[in-house]
Structure 1
């Protein structure tokens, strides 16, 4: 099947599902104000998008995820399907921190609000701080948070420097940080393109860095260890690891 066919099918499926599933998410919020039911619908939505578009998702290390406690998932950001893969195939209640512009998209944004996700205005320090505090409250309430510390999708697969924020969040909420490596999603929809190339996604979940370790070590040391775990798993499992990946020094910030 041609790339044009896969692309047409993807956009047809995502538009149709967005209308149906977002309506269900909004209706679920009227029944369950916590957003838990809405997120379960969003999770099913993510799995459907992957399956209907021929995207096979493989998850390793689920034993490192505990559904009975909050945690901060620290993941590299490879592509558009990262969100569908993580939301659809991780069996925990997630709350996403996403740029506010996504919340203004009809249907999609409405379902994000219904699911209790957190909008952030990155150009406003005050609103960014409000999103930071809202994230801590979600963690204290028992929900896990996903953070892409690179801040944007990688255009070439290379894992970029991490930005600050998640370490302090873990300290404030007293929760562990879990490294998550995403492989393959960047090849499906390349940054700056709307064309679809179906392929597999691999999600590798590493051992968590517990709160006691986070509190005992410097920020740079914790973040360097998390990034190195993500990079090591990427180098080990990626079909063609970017040559510059092994050369880049870990950043000192998330």
Structure 2
């Protein structure tokens, strides 16, 4: 109960500071390169996410950061729990946006930051929104921004890897960027498996070797399964 209160107090209590910093960052945008501004914007969510993870008392082990290539990439990760995003924001030094539920727009301040991070919003009840999210993501990648996607669509809550929705491969192929698989294990033990009470957990994040556009093209219709298999094997190795 205490860790839950501390975590959520920090989560929402930090928002006024984040809003003030965002205003400062926007003023500095003129004259900065896209890469410089992306790093500046990423620094605040990274700090916020690190503070959240510290208050959960969890230990996060990260491997494979040497695999991170230059330029835009499509990060493809399994989706175990609600703490996947804070864990990845605090662990991955490369700036990225992500595909998020449309409902997040109802929160204060957070959507403004997400827009600057080049996140894409998706309304799962609207097929046109789903199509637009794909084209928007391709556009972000073409502009040079990296994007994270959870192709399972919903949290597994530690109950095994779900099937991947195939749309992410269309994004990767049309954008012509590398796919960087990520295997994340242990986030469901922070909250989902504790009746939504926050408890410390050991979390392991594995950044796996990228798949180049050429490798994805060569895999053809099996490309999505290839990405999923690499993540599945990495998760199995943790057990």
1:63 to 2:66 alignment: yes
Taking a change above 3 Å as real, the CA distance of residues 12 and 232 of structure 1, as seen in their structure-2 partners, is same
**Pairs within 5 Å for 1:1-254:** 4-32=1-29, 36=38, 37-66=40-69, 68-190=70-192, 193-219=195-221, 221-238=222-239
Residues 47-73 of structure 1 deviation map (CA, whole Å, 9 limit, x = unaligned) = 12112332222111111111x211111
- Post-superposition shift, 1:229? 1.3
Q: Supply the distance in 2 between the matched residues of 1:146 and 1:218 (Cα, whole angstroms).
A: 22
Aligned residue-pair number: 233
> Any unmatched runs of 5+ in structure 1?
239-254
- Post-superposition shift, 1:100? 1.0
Q: Supply the distance in 1 between the matched residues of 2:81 and 2:19 (Cα, whole angstroms).
A: 22
Runs of 4+ in 1 over 6 A off after TM superposition: none
> Any unmatched runs of 5+ in structure 2?
none
Is the Cα contact below 8 Å between 1:80 and 1:185 reproduced in 2? yes
Is the Cα contact below 8 Å between 1:95 and 1:117 reproduced in 2? yes
Is the Cα contact below 8 Å between 1:97 and 1:145 reproduced in 2? yes
Higher helix share: 2
Is the Cα contact below 8 Å between 1:95 and 1:138 reproduced in 2? no
Q: TM-score, with normalisation over the residues of structure 2?
A: 0.90
- Post-superposition shift, 1:110? 2.7
Q: Supply the distance in 1 between the matched residues of 2:194 and 2:119 (Cα, whole angstroms).
A: 25
SS of structure 2 residue aligned to 1:146: strand
CA RMSD of aligned residues (A): 1.9
Q: TM-score, with normalisation over the residues of structure 1?
A: 0.85
Residues 182-240 of structure 1 deviation map (CA, whole Å, 9 limit, x = unaligned) = 01111001079431011121100111111001112223x111121111111111114xx
